[in-house]
Amino acid sequence: MKRKIALAGLVGFLAYTGSYIFVYLWRAFRVDLDRSPDAVVIWHGDPFARSILVAVLFLIGLVVLVYVSLSRQHGARAGTVRLRDDLWEWLEHEADETNDRPERVAERAVAAYRSRLEGSRGP
């Protein structure tokens, strides 16, 4: 729910800043009809308007950066489980003793746990 609210806020903010930039560029390259229809007058406004534009572009980059960092899965791939550090150390220790990979030791430990839950006493 929080992610959807953050995404809606991001989309609203980007729509607002996009419309602001569109209006700014439309005003910057308007046609002066008093001179000739083909003459384009470049209007850059006062320094305050330029500083607002720079601030808006900076905020767009900042919001995109925050969105990417929020949507990142904190180093874990989809479908994986992050283990506590002490459990991973135990897995590495057991893997060293059995000369096997830690992932394989974890698979065997989970299989043994499931068999005990189901009531069967497999190997």
Report pLDDT for 96.
92
Neighbour-count burial of 103, counting CB atoms closer than 10 A to its CB (0-12 exposed, 13-18 middle, 19+ buried): exposed
The more confidently predicted of residues 82 and 76 is 82
DSSP reduced 3-state for 83: coil
- CA-to-CA distance for 37 and 35, rounded, in angstroms? 7
Average pLDDT of the residues of the chain: 75
The region, left, alpha or beta by phi > 0 then psi within -120 to 50, assigned to residue 76 is: beta
Dihedral angle of Cα 97, 98, 101, 105, to the nearest 10 degrees = -100
Q: pTM (2 decimals)?
A: 0.35
Using CA atoms, how far apart are residues 21 and 92, in angstroms rounded to an integer? 55
Task: Give the Cβ contact number of residue 105 at 10 Å.
Answer: 19
Residue pLDDT, tens place only, 14-51:
778 777 777 776 776 665 556 565 655 555 566 667 77
